[in-house]
Structure 1
Amino acid sequence: MATQGRAAGGAQRPESEYTKLESTPLVGEPHDVLADAREPDSPAIDLALSGTVFFDIVLTGLAAPPASGTEVGAEGMGSCPGGVANLAVAAARLGLRTAVAAAFGEDVYGDFCWETLSGQESVDLSASRRIPNWHSPFTVSLAYRGDRSMVTHEHPSPIPLDLMAHELPPARAAFVSLSADSGVPEWALRQAANGARIFADVGWDDSQTWSGSVLDQLQHCHAFVPNAIEAMSYTRTGSPASALAALADHVPVAVVTDGPRGALAVDQTTGESAEVEGLVLDAVDTTGAGDVFGASFIVGTLAGWPLEQRLRFANLCAALSVQHTGGSLSAPGWADIAAWWGPLAGNAVSNGGGGGAPQLARDYGFLADLVPRPWLPTDQRRASATIGLRH
């Protein structure tokens, strides 16, 4: 757990300090936001994904990354499934029936990731495979000064991901990460042919060429959710707003996220446009915050919420996630949302509502219908993001 490190003589911090650093999201009653839309002939799965599941070790609270030949102390650590698992867990905790096609090694890392996703988070792994004599992909993430650096080791899966992904059940939505090196995956196009909406993001371009072929792929997508730097780079524009306008020529729903400054979007299927400010909460680890935003936006879209509400909800969920360690297991569920909303709603009521209510309570007033005030989370927390911890 969290210590001051060997440089400080190995002295342990008080439990009150490391409990805060290592806290995990609450457990509450399940909440299905799509309950009213479910029909006997509806897809059994809401969101289908395929990609690499990494075993992540996350070290938090570093003053700086280690320089050559030096050692630095970390205030906190966690272990959890990463990669495509980040978005899968975030969606599942918000009530989406989620399925993943991925390769898992038959090593202790693969065991942990499989059991966490399937058993703890109820993610459908029927299209995934356990592979003997194959090392699970592995990442170490170093969180410092509100950002993070990563070191990854992986071998290509002996079974191609696209082959596994063809076994994914039909879904309402599919999520893909676009790349200049390949088109929209065939499995996602097959999902779209069966009625699924494709949501997409894009990874960082190490070559800095920002190929226009990525924008060409948006013709197959329903929504595109890049960050501001990616959006401006691919569209050759100088501001998030200009990038959004350019992206709207390529995809029905364009969203540009801008970190603590918020997000802006255009939904041409509804004729809406919206821009919302960021929601800044105390941060422990920013790993996976973008995945949480994407999953939350998908939830709101499938539920048919107004665009501004979708953006605010996604901002809130991403902000709540950075308060905990680990990309996937930091994702909030409805209990965490209720715990944040309850005091805010109570203060608004005590102030008499209307003009006396704080602006934040008015902006997030839609949560009153999603997490009614009498509903409270339990005191139980989810399993800590630690592979070897025994209770």
Structure 2
Amino acid sequence: MSSSVGTETRLDLFLTGPLFFDIVFTGLPSAPKPGTEIWADGMGSLPGGIANLAVAASRLGLNTGLAAGFGDDAYGAWAWSLLAEQENINLGRSRRFRNWHSAVTVSLSWLGDRSLITHGHPIPVSQRELIGSPPAARAVFGELVRPDGEEPWWKDYGAGDTLVFADVGWDPSEVWDPAVLSDLHLCHAFLPNHVEAMAYTRTDSANAALRRLSDQVPLAVVTRGPDGAIAADASTGETASVPGLRVNALDSTGAGDVFAAAMVVGTLEQWPLEQRLLFASLSSALAVQHFGGSLAAPGWGDIVDWWTAAKATASRSAEDADVARRYGFLDDVLPDRARNAVRRAEATFGLLTEVEAFS
């Protein structure tokens, strides 16, 4: 998907953000209580934070560049090797910082949701200093606002042909200031979840929030978790609503990032809006069936496997037949990607030599 611009290879997607070393516990019988010990059914360890989106995009074939700060500890060295060698992510604008340790997040998953415990420190330089001169890219993904008040880095792309995909984090103050959306007109796409969308637009339904957002940004997408997603694309005049896929969700960490990466893929490929939403919903549904955000992200090989099984079971029930009908477009999409297709990796912290052997 890449092309050369000057002496630099143009990226399909460029992104930046904080990187974490994630330790994920799944299948907890209940929430932890003081003075007690509980056992988890599963555990994984993997790069998290911005790595969730970067890995998901790279596995779907996007030439992905990441600017992130890496610690000089074992976690940082392992994450760098894994992302660069195993996941083929361009770390040309990432940096290792001496005497700075990796941020760590522990994710506790039970009853279909999760709680996070995190420790870390801001990287020693600003985001703009880390990025330097922004690389040529077909698309970038960034937050609408920076928690430190710094001007969003993606504004450096100005009015060029780079598509800006924007997201917004949870507001811990729960003020949900509508001014946060003031830069939406500079973006191509906005992908909040339904809670965020309704809160920022002061509406009482996901559909009402979508209508409000579609007046401010060409491509507005509102995700609804297991209930699917809705979207409006003013650049094509399309609207779409798709249901979620019924799956046994093990860990929802990174599901939104996988959805976003798949939407970038479909948009760059100029697929119809409904197909983009279906593909993104499928990608996130495949991710939540495994623990760990980044390394649970599906590659084209996992999508080929799912589609092969879906067609084989289409005659079992009306619901299975409907799924096969809705995803019939994959027959046209997959043949060019099935050969040497990437599949997800096991979420286990290992030796650097194991990463080298894998690559």
- TM-score, scaled to structure 1: 0.84
2:253 pairs with 1:290: no
Q: 1:113 aligns with which of 79, 95, 115?
A: 79
**Change in 2 beyond 3 A, CA 1:243/1:356:** closer
Cα distance between partner residues in 2 of 1:311 and 1:357: 19
Q: 1:71 aligns with which of 37, 46, 71?
A: 37
2:18 pairs with 1:52: yes
Q: Deviations over 1:265-324 (max 9, x none)?
A: 000000000011111211111100011001100110011000000000000000000111
Q: Secondary structure at the match of 2:39?
A: coil
Superposed displacement of residue 260, structure 1: 0.9
2:175 pairs with 1:209: yes
**Contact 1:98/1:123 (8 A) holds in 2:** yes
**Change in 2 beyond 3 A, CA 1:120/1:286:** same
Q: 1:251 aligns with which of 217, 229, 250?
A: 217
Letter of the 2:203 counterpart = T
**Unmatched 5+ residue regions in structure 1?**
1-33
- Which residue of the partner structure matches residue 122 of structure 1? 88
2:290 pairs with 1:324: yes
Letter of the 2:269 counterpart = A
**Contact 1:127/1:167 (8 A) holds in 2:** no
Superposed displacement of residue 165, structure 1: 1.9
Larger RCO: 1 or 2 (CA < 8 Å, sep 6+):
1
Moved more, 339-348 or 81-90: 339-348
Q: How many residues align?
A: 350
Superposed displacement of residue 161, structure 1: 2.0
2:358 pairs with 1:365: no
Q: Percent sequence identity over matched residues?
A: 53
Letter of the 2:323 counterpart = L
Q: Deviations over 1:310-346 (max 9, x none)?
A: 0000000000001111110000000000000012224
2:65 pairs with 1:99: yes
2:266 pairs with 1:300: yes
- Which residue of the partner structure matches residue 236 of structure 1? 202
**Change in 2 beyond 3 A, CA 1:356/1:226:** closer
**Change in 2 beyond 3 A, CA 1:224/1:184:** farther
Q: 1:384 aligns with which of 342, 346, 354?
A: 346
Larger Rg: 1
Cα distance between partner residues in 2 of 1:191 and 1:374: 30
Q: Secondary structure at the match of 1:216?
A: helix
**Unmatched 5+ residue regions in structure 2?**
none
**Change in 2 beyond 3 A, CA 1:68/1:90:** same
**Change in 2 beyond 3 A, CA 1:368/1:128:** same
Cα distance between partner residues in 2 of 1:356 and 1:206: 39
Cα distance between partner residues in 2 of 1:91 and 1:381: 13
Cα distance between partner residues in 2 of 1:190 and 1:247: 23
- Which residue of the partner structure matches residue 11 of structure 1? none
**Contact 1:127/1:168 (8 A) holds in 2:** no
Q: Any residues of structure 2 matched to 1:329-368 within 5 Å, and which?
A: 329-348=295-314, 358-368=321-331
Superposed displacement of residue 167, structure 1: 4.0
**Change in 2 beyond 3 A, CA 1:191/1:316:** same
**Contact 1:283/1:323 (8 A) holds in 2:** yes
Q: 1:262 aligns with which of 219, 222, 228?
A: 228
**Contact 1:49/1:99 (8 A) holds in 2:** yes
Q: Deviations over 1:58-106 (max 9, x none)?
A: 1111011201221111111111110011000000000000001110011
Cα distance between partner residues in 2 of 1:102 and 1:39: 23
**Contact 1:244/1:254 (8 A) holds in 2:** yes
Cα distance between partner residues in 2 of 1:356 and 1:234: 35
